[in-house]
Amino acid sequence: MVNNIVKTVVNNETPVVNLLESPRHSCTFGGAYTATNAVKGLVPILHTGPGCGWTNFFGLVAGSGGGFLGDLGAMQTPSSSLLEKHIVFGGEDKLRDLLNSTNELMNGELFVVIPGCIPTMIGDDIGMVVNEFRAKNNTPIIHVKTSGFNGNSYKGYELFLDAVIDQLLEEPVKVKKGLVNIIGIAPCQHIFWKGDLKELQRTLELIGLEVNPIFGDLKGIESLKKIPEAELNIVVNPWLGKEVADKLETKFGTPFIVQYGLPVGPRETEHFVQDVGKKLGIPREKIDQAIQKEIKEAYQFYNYISNGLYMGLANSYFGVAAESNIAIGLTRFLTNDCGMMPTVVIITDDPPLKNRESIKQRLTEDINSINKPDVIFEIDTYNIEKILQNYPNLIVLGSSMEKYFSADKLSALHLTVSFPAYDRMLLRRTYSGFFGGINLLEDLMGKMSRPF
């Protein structure tokens, strides 16, 4: 790929980022919109200009392995589609009309008002309009505070859950023993969200837990209402969703644990399950017994692939450009379980500064390799390519934006594992859990062309 964008370079080193090339995220609005669509029965109601919904829906859904999302995504989504006169005189009346007409035309378990940036610029009081509607109608309604240049789509995911906690969930609640929520996997931004949530649910059910993945199942609003009943919140992400878990702990007293990166393969998954079990007071032996069969089976599959792995990809240098969650999971698996050598891990989800050190630690400590990877936080595609060029990688695990670059410039094997994924259809595919590593190796080895 030829890159025509010229960037200002200071001291021949750091380009001044006054533009961002092909960012790997959208805005809070997009994050909240896809999160809403990922819960069945929820009706997203957009209060913004006509283009926001369209671009965000297709940008995020198509970039996350295709398919469709929700019963009311894209063309079906009610939107105020603000025009000039609403900008001049305010858009509150338009939102009022939209809420009323949506109420007449659509059946939904929960209305979710998602404002874009325009209403903030003109000072629309969205909370007031939503409260008015709530007082007059039986349909439950919340509004997500996405408006006003609030951040990226990861933040949008958190803001959606914030709105649910603040405006929908009620105290007091009775805690249900053995019920856990999974937090930290943002629909669409995490391209394997559908498969990963299913697999993590299945894995934790092995030890007798009831798992609420919140997104992607068929329970609809019940998934949201069940959130405070959980005995434990499991944040499967080194940073995303931690603040949500904090909030749930403050409001409902639910403790939480953080899994620093997706558990990929039998070794990490066993640790993960044991950590959860320990927190819930489930005896270690009981867990060992419950997962024994899975581990055995997983290693059986490694036997099938082991010759190919050690002959074809033994001690391969590999580089990663992915979200922190996926990057940690895949790097640790390929290094610790497959004997490959990580050169560089580029973190592309822009985690907050306070979380970066822990992410770095998970990628460089307790890693069974003679070399530790350089960990670089970068969200600009041009810079990501420049960084990758500095390492002699045989394998590049990145987004589909690195696909042609990896082949043309690096002669490396490329597999799409992060957002955006324009070259894969991802429905139930997962790299997490006991068999996740097998799936990864299957996809990776499938990329090799053999002379026989």
Partner 1 sequence: MSKIRNIAIYGKGGIGKSTTSSNISAALSEEGYKVMQIGCDPKSDSTNTLRGGQFIPTVLDTLRSGKRVETDEFIHDGFNGIKCVEAGGPEPGVGCAGRGIITAIELLKQRNVFEDYSPDVVIYDVLGDVVCGGFAMPIREGIAEQVYTVSSSDFMAIYAANNLFKGILKYANNGGALFSGIIANSVNLPEQQDILNDFSKKTKTTITEFVPRSLTVTRSELRGRTVIEAEPDSEQAGIYRSLARKIITNGHKYVPSPLDVDGLKSWAQSWSDRLLGQGEAPGRINCSLEHGVQIAEEEAVRAR
The residue ranges that bind partner 1 (CB under 8 A) are 84-92, 121-123
Of 122 and 305, nearer to partner 1 (C-beta) is 122
> What is the nearest approach in angstroms of partner 1 to the Cβ of residue 149?
16
Question: Rounded to the nearest whole angstrom, what is the least distance from the CB of residue 148 to partner 1 in the complex?
Answer: 14
The strand order across the sheet containing 110-115 reads 42-47, 110-115, 141-143
CA-CA distance, 160 to 119, in Å (whole number)? Answer: 18
Taking the least distance from each CB to partner 1, the nearer of 123 and 451 is 123
- What is the residue type of 446? G
Q: Is the Cβ of residue 100 or residue 289 nearer to partner 1 in the bound state?
A: 100
Nearest-angstrom CA–CA distance, 361 and 214:
29
Spatial contact of 206 and 277, defined as CB atoms under 8 Å apart: no
Residue 238 near residue 351, CB atoms below 8 Å? yes
Minimum CB separation of residue 118 from partner 1 in Å reads 9
The strand pair at 9-10 and 14-15 is best described as: antiparallel
Judged by CB, which is closer to partner 1: 118, or 313?
Answer: 118
Q: How far apart are CA 88 and CA 122, in angstroms?
A: 8
User: Closest distance between partner 1 and the C-beta of residue 86, in Å?
Assistant: 8
Contacts of residue 126, defined as CB under 8 A and 6 or more positions apart, other chains included, come to 47, 92, 95, 113, 115, 119, 143, 147
Question: Could you tell me the smallest distance in angstroms from the CB atom of residue 50 to partner 1?
Answer: 16
Q: Which is nearer to partner 1, 2 or 88 (CB)?
A: 88
- In the complex with partner 1, the residue whose CB is nearer, 5 or 121, is 121
**Nearest CA to 240 among 419, 434, 444?**
419
Please identify, using beta-carbon distances, which residue of 131 and 358 lies nearer to partner 1.
131
Cα distance between residue 340 and residue 445, in whole Å: 14
Q: How far is the CB of 129 from partner 1 (least distance, A)?
A: 12
CA-to-CA distance for 82 and 51, rounded, in angstroms?
10
Question: Pairing relation of β-strands 317-322 and 110-115?
Answer: unpaired
Q: How far is the CB of 121 from partner 1 (least distance, A)?
A: 7
Looking at the DSSP bridge assignments, the partners of residue 142 are: 112
